[in-house]
Amino acid sequence: MPGDDRLYEMFTKYVFVTVKQAQQALDCKFDYINVRLRRLAENGYLGRVQQNDFSEFLYFLSEQGALKAIERGATNHKRYVQKKSPMQLPHEKGITDCQLLFSKHFDGAEFRRWRTDLQKDFDGEVPDLFFDLKDGTGWCPMEYERMNPVSREKLADYAKHFSRTYVIVQTTRRVEMLLASIEDTLNTQRLWFTSVDLFSKNPTGKIWWTPRNFRDRAYSILKPES
């Protein structure tokens, strides 16, 4: 269908989406995108998986879908997902939620999420998301911490190589505990932390803290100097 061009572009950008996330990304009617994603999955262009019989599906490009995305001009790279563990669905969905909010508030922002792409620039572990908000900061890693904590070694490596890294954790209490645990060993303003609920409500507000001065100051992406 003609509208599939935007749909394939969406998958090359976000990689994993639910129906509701696709509706938001494409600004379309829920019933339309729900039926279209299901039919593309039934015809082999998309893969999909759900955590249980009562949860929503998470969709992603299959190998056949990756070839179709190239054919329709959505990408020049044959990138697709062979399979996805149901246990990883909440993590991937959370990353997409963050990406959608960044996209909404920063026009022209560029994102890299495909692991095969990120492995070209990162040794070992890759970030959950790598982006340039076009705000003068440059390319920044982002970690979405759900179950497994981000290691100190990984945070130290980010602080060494990037002017800013964003870490989004599940609760403000987790933010406080994490910052208190690293303030002596990673006393830097290059690591920015916030919680899911604060980020979801106002991504550009003063919701970010750094190990160097989290007890006294919060930062905004829009006005990091204040």
Q: Specify the pLDDT at position 226.
A: 57
DSSP letter assigned to residue 149: P
Q: Specify the pLDDT at position 117.
A: 95
pTM for this entry = 0.94
Continuous H helices in the chain: 4-14, 19-26, 30-42, 63-71, 89-105, 115-118, 152-161, 172-182, 196-201
- Using an 8 Å Cβ cutoff, are 159 and 185 in contact? no
Q: Specify the pLDDT at position 95.
A: 98
> From the first residue on, what is the mean pLDDT of each consecutive set of 10 residues in the chain (226 residues)?
88 98 96 96 97 94 97 95 92 98 95 95 92 95 93 95 97 96 94 98 96 94 77
- β-pairing, 110-112 vs 129-132, is antiparallel
Q: For the domain with range 4-84, which CATH number is right: 3.10.129.10, 3.40.50.620, 3.90.1300.10, 1.10.10.10?
A: 1.10.10.10
